[in-house]
Chains A and B, each alone.
Chain A
């Protein structure tokens, strides 16, 4: 079974803090994704990566950056957290061979005070 893990289920940070959200997958997937999920807005793609050290902007990259130094790990970075970044953050991965299906982590609920 594919397993995607996220470093925290719940996180509370203060405005201006630098925040790291980590995601690890154990299925040697090439593609990894970061989404945020907000009520009434569904899932919105922040960044994605299809290879180590590669990154592409999604629909809402502003205020975020990412890092993919190793194939299994994709990190989302909030350089200076703001209250409007309070959200549920979901990481997903997929393989190039079966790229249609994405496998999701359990999510990190981030609250920025």
Chain B
């Protein structure tokens, strides 16, 4: 399976601290994405990094990708209570007609006010 795996499974930090989540995957990819899911809701796309990129920023988010290690990390700086959610990495698998994504099991982040 190409499914990604996030690490840690759960993370609890104080507001203002940085949160780092990691993702490992098994096969070659074209890109890797991070999604966020608030409790009981759908997933929301956060950021995409392509296989030829090593680092990407979006606001307080910083994503790195190491294709040699088949791993990625998501850093949320200056965390806020509203960042409390589950975070998933997703890798692509090009198939005929549609691009499927393989999701990891997620990291549950709790930011304590």
Binding site for B on A (CB under 8 A): 4, 30-31, 33, 35, 40-43, 45, 48-51, 54, 56, 58, 88, 90, 92, 94, 99-107, 109
When the two chains form the complex, which single residue of B48, B92, B99, B100 contacts A58, counting CB atoms closer than 8 Å?
B100
Q: Which 5 A-B pairs have the closest CB atoms?
A: A50-B97, A104-B42, A50-B98, A42-B105, A43-B103
Query: Which residues from 62 to 113 on chain B have a C-beta closer than 8 Å to any C-beta of chain A?
Result: 88, 90, 92, 95-101, 103-106
**In the assembled complex, how far is the CB of residue B68 from the closest CB belonging to chain A, in whole angstroms?**
22
For A40, the chain B residues whose CB sits under 8 A away are 105
For B101, the chain A residues whose CB sits under 8 A away are 102
Select from chain A the residue with minimum beta-carbon distance to B9: A40
**Cβ A48 vs Cβ B98 within 8 A:** yes
Where chain B touches its partner, the secondary structure class is strand
**Cβ A101 vs Cβ B33 within 8 A:** yes
Question: Number of B interface residues, CB 8 Å?
Answer: 26
For B41, the chain A residues whose CB sits under 8 A away are 106-107
**Cβ A31 vs Cβ B99 within 8 A:** yes
**B45 in the interface (beta carbon within 8 A):** yes
Where chain A touches its partner, the secondary structure class is strand
Give the docked Cα–Cα distance between A90 and B104 (Å): 15
When the two chains form the complex, which single residue of B48, B100, B104 contacts A42, counting CB atoms closer than 8 Å?
B104
When the two chains form the complex, which single residue of A50, A54, A94, A104 contacts B43, counting CB atoms closer than 8 Å?
A104
Known: A41-B105, A43-B88. A100 touches B48 (CB 8 A): yes
Give the docked Cα–Cα distance between A30 and B101 (Å): 15
